[in-house]
Each structure stands twice: as structure tokens, then as C-alpha cells.
A and B are shown apart, each in its own frame.
Chain A
Amino acid sequence: MAGPFVAVIDYGIGNLRSAEKALCRAGADARLVTRAADVAAAAGVVLPGVGHFGRCSEALLQSGLWGATVDAVSDERPFLGICVGLQLLYESSEEAPGARGLGVFPGQVALLPAGVRRPQMQWNLLAVRPGSRFLAGLEQGTWAYFVHSFAAPVGDETVATCDYGGPVAAAVEAGHVWGAQFHPEKSSTAGLAALANFVEACSCDSPGQAERPRPGEEPRVGARGGREA
């Protein structure tokens, strides 16, 4: 039986195939999508991202999928941002002053603390806040793979941190909007378990097609305005 249709937003950056294949392994019918209609049709949406915040923001705008992404985070479907995809959930980043994020969460993504090698390119131990759905079953001694030089601020939405020159935001979760600074698609069995939690949410939580905004409808969340998390 095919799992829920998970749209992996393909906006021309980096290694998206790994995310697609890992989601398939975790039980989803995951596909790379380049059309807004496909994003709208999915039970769940994944926004990957590697490299530079400004370039990713620009690429998402140029791909024509910014609006569909905003719709996806503003309706009740499960949404997962990975790496820079998580960072794009914030308002902005020190990495690219002037480039905008989706503004789902308040605050600015910032450079990792001084005194550590950058990028953090290693596995690190997650400190998971109990009650996370994304990281359910991974509360004890879970290692995940990180590759990044910038990180989101630690806030109410932070459900996991790792220690890299201080506590660094590793995962976020607010309702149906989840994010991983680490790469679940590259974190072996632990990462696949987290993705399976997402796929399960896509199976259970996604509202019916009728409840979703129709193509052309104004997005309910402004790209800059954002909801308070």
C-alpha cells in the first residue's frame, strides 16, 4: 500500500534525492515536486535546503513555489523544514542580511558561536524535550548528523538542542510545523525513525482536500508577517 503523498519541494538546490528516498524508506510516497499544484495536493510537505540562506530564499522565490510553501505552513498539513529549510521558517538570517524567510517563527538565524570549527560537520547528541511528536521515541541518546554554520535561535518552538559551543537549536515543532537543523535523511536509523513520525502525521493529520485553500486563493500568512509561535 502506498503511503501518504509527501511533496519534497524541488527548487533547484543541492541534494534533494536523499530526502526523497529516505522519506520513501520511512513509508511515504515521496516525490520531488516543482509545481505549486503538486505542493497543494500533498498530504505533507517537506522543504529541504542546503548551503546559503540567501540563495535558498532567492531560489524558492524564483521557483514560483514561495506562495505554495506559505500555503503549506499556513494550513494544517504536516510541514517539515530540513537544515536551511528549517532556517527559512524564521524571519531572517545573519548569513544574508536583507534576504527574507517565511517568518513562521520569530527571530534571526545566527552564526554558530566563536571558538568552534565551522561548519559543524559531524554527528551530535540530541537533547530532546519530552512531548515532541517529531522526535517521539528518540528522547534517549539519539545521535544525528549536522552540517551547518548558522543556527536558529533557541525559543519556545525548540524541541531539541545539541551542544556545539553552547546549546544549538537542533529541531523545532509548533503544531503541524516541524523542522530539523540536522539531516534526518542522513542520520541512519534514528533519522529514519524521525521521518517515520512525520510520515505517520501525514497519514493521520492531513485535512481533506476540501479544507485546503484552492489555487489562486490569497495566502493566509504573509511572507513577512508570520504567526507568533
Chain B
Amino acid sequence: MRVVRVIPCLDVDAGRVVKGVRFAGLRDAGDPVELAARYDAEGADEIVFYDITASAEGRETMFEVVSRTAEEAFIPLTVGGGVRTLDDARRLLRLGADKVSVNSAAVARPELVTEISGTFGAQCTVVGMDVRRSGPGTWEVYTHGGRVATGIDALGWATRCEQLGAGELVLNSMDRDGTRLGYDLELCRRVVEATGIPVVASGGVGSVAHLVEGAVAGLADAVLAASIFHYGEVTIAEAKAALAAAGVAVRPSVTAAPAR
């Protein structure tokens, strides 16, 4: 049975959540640890922390955040952004991350994927891909938060990552990111069909219908979103209910969807 995961993603800058999160009753809406625990209670299937910190000192804070999260949230945690070396990965995993996501560093040095996978296993080795459509049915890999074009074909890179030892791909459409127009479904489907490892759809979600599309038309194994969850537009329970109504198997949310 394929069971689709629903994953809220938190952008973290120097230990603080960047986009405002609107939950009632939070002591500190900027604390990623409290939010992770809240999403666990709401029935999220995993949590992703994406570290957008620029400074080295700020990066240190992320390690502390991961450590505290391990004491408060009991669902899988993926940490991405700024993972450049095997030692970065080792430190995050020791502190309580379940998976580390590499992006630019993997493009610069693909052996990094093999090193992490070979040392800690494919199950904790995620490759994040930022891609843009470059023509009909073709997409190009970008690095450095989508600023640097690499000339690398996205489908080729996806299959290469699987061969290198990645256990999961997070596929972020730079064309759709922030647009609220929905996932790039063709991209997602093509990558799913080209690989045998789980694929997480990311970028562009503006409604619960987009999550359903990602799983049904995009064939994604997991659907990731940020703002619609953080701003309280869609609860995890509502997302799960919509997926289930569309015939997609999901782990039911702990709390039932509120009556409308």
C-alpha cells in the first residue's frame, strides 16, 4: 500500500522560523521546535527544516534547534540547507535529524551523496533539487537557492542521484515556488517515472486541491508545502481529508477535520 505523506516545511534563519506561523495558543510562533511539536500533534507525517541562514554563527543555532526538536517532536525530521560535508550530515544525524537533504553541495561534488549514503544509509540521504523548465518536457537543475543555472538536465540528475545512493528526492519547481499556482505536475510525474525512490513534490502550493493533484496527477509519494499550513489556510487534517476523499491512502490525522 502506497501511503502519501503530508509534510510542512519550515524555513529557519538563525534558529527562527522565517515566515510567520499563525497557530492559536503558541507561546513562541517563531520557535521551530514548538512548531514541530504542534505539527506532530496535528498529524503531520514528517517535518522539514530548511536552513536559510547565511552566517556561520547562525548555522550553529540550527544544530541546537535540531537537538531540542528531538526532545519534543516524535515524527521524522529532515534538515536541509547548508549541508556541505559528511561531517555536517553526521552532526545533524547525531543530534536527532532522521534525514539530511543536500542540494548545491551534491551538484558541486556528487560523491557527497555516496559518502552520506554509504556511511549512514540511503534512508537518511535526501537530495533536494531546485529545477526550472528549460523547454517542452525538459528541466534544468539550479543551485544556490535557484540563483545559479548548472546546465544539468533534471531527469538525468534525478536518476544519477538514485544511482549515487539517494533514498529520496525533494523536487522543488523554481517556476512555481511562491506562485500558489500548484506543483509542476508534469515534472513530478516524469521524475517519479524515471526513478524508483520516493519523490516529494514541492513548490507552488496555494490550495488543498494542489496537494491532491501532486499525489494523483503528479504521482508524488509525499506532498510538501509551507505557507498554506503556516498561515492556517489549510490544516493538516483538512489536507489528509481531501487526499482521502480523492482516493489517496493517507495516515488519518490525529484530530478530525473541523466541521464546516
Nearest-neighbour CB distance to chain B for A41, whole angstroms, equals 24
**Inter-chain contact A15/B75, CB cutoff 8 Å:** no
* Chain A residues closer than 8 Å to B76, beta-carbon distance: 145, 147, 183, 186
Per-residue CB contact flags for chain B residues 175-218 toward chain A (1 = under 8 Å, else 0) read: 00000000000000000000011100000000000000000000
Inter-chain contact B93/A15, CB cutoff 8 Å: yes
Q: B98 contacts which of A18, A143, A162 (Cβ < 8 Å)?
A: A18
Contact with B along A140-157 (1 / 0, CB 8 A): 000101011100000000
Report if A50-B121 is in contact (Cβ < 8 Å); known contacts: A119-B167, A121-B167, A145-B75. yes
Q: Flag if B74 contacts A117 (CB, 8 Å).
A: no
Q: In the assembled complex, how far is the CB of residue B197 from the closest CB belonging to chain A, in whole angstroms?
A: 6
Contact A117 B2 (CB under 8 A): yes
Whole-angstrom distance between the alpha carbons of A46 and B252 in the complex?
29
The answer to whether B3 touches A124 (Cβ under 8 A) is: yes
Interface hits, B203-260 → A, CB 8 Å: 221-222, 251-252, 254
CA distance A162 to B3 in the complex (A): 12
* A52 / chain B contacts, CB cutoff of 8 Å: 121
B122 at the interface (CB under 8 A from A): yes
Smallest CB-CB separation from B125: which chain A residue?
A: A51
Please report the C-alpha to C-alpha distance between residue A17 and residue B71 in the assembled complex, in whole angstroms. 9
B1 and A117: CB pair below 8 A? no
B94: chain A residues at CB < 8 Å are 15-17
Answer yes or no: B157 CB below 8 A from chain A CBs: no
B82 close to A (CB within 8 Å): no
- Complex-state Cα separation, A50 to B125, whole angstroms: 12
A123–B5 Cα distance when bound, in Å, is 7
Secondary structure of the A side of the interface? Answer: mixed
Q: Mark B77-120, 1 if CB is under 8 A from A, else 0.
A: 00000000000000001111110000000000000000000011
B29 at the binding interface (Cβ < 8 Å): no
| Chain B residues positioned under 8 Å from A94 (CB to CB) | none
State the Cβ distance, B162 to closest chain A Cβ, in Å: 10
The reply to whether the CB of A189 lies closer than 8 angstroms to some CB of chain B is yes
Assess whether B123 is interfacial by the CB under 8 Å rule: yes
CB of B45 within 8 A of chain A?
Answer: yes
CB proximity of B252 to chain A, nearest CB, Å: 8
- Verify B3–A123 contact, CB threshold 8 A: yes
- Contact (A17, B74) CB under 8 Å given A117-B196, A122-B3, A186-B98: no
Query: Which residue on A lies nearest to B200, using beta carbons?
Result: A121
In the bound complex, residues from chain A placing their C-beta under 8 Å from that of B45 are 122-123, 145
> Cβ of A125 < 8 Å from any Cβ of B?
yes
Is residue A171 within 8 Å, beta carbon to beta carbon, of the partner chain? no
Contact with A along B1-37 (1 / 0, CB 8 A): 1111100000000000000000000000000000000
Compute how far the CA of A187 lies from the CA of B44 in the bound complex, rounded to whole angstroms.
Answer: 11
CB distance from B71 to the nearest CB of A (A): 5
Q: Is the CB of A188 within 8 A of B254?
A: yes
Complex CA distance for A163 and B2, rounded to whole angstroms? 9
Q: In the complex the two chains form, is B123's CB within 8 Å of A148's CB?
A: yes
**Minimal Cβ-Cβ distance residue in A for B121:** A51
Q: If A50-B120, A119-B198 touch, does A188 touch B75 (CB 8 Å cutoff)?
A: yes
Whether the pair B74, A147 counts as a contact (CB closer than 8 A) is no
Residues A21 and B70 in contact, CB atoms below 8 Å apart: yes
Q: Can you give 9 contacting A-B residue pairs, CB < 8 Å?
A: A50-B121, A50-B123, A117-B2, A119-B167, A121-B167, A122-B198, A147-B123, A185-B74, A186-B74
Closest CB pairs A-B (n = 9): A51-B121, A123-B251, A147-B123, A143-B251, A17-B96, A122-B3, A163-B1, A121-B198, A21-B71
Given contacts A50-B120, A187-B75, A189-B74, 10 further A-B contacts (CB under 8 A): A15-B93, A15-B124, A21-B96, A50-B121, A51-B120, A119-B167, A122-B3, A123-B45, A145-B75, A188-B40
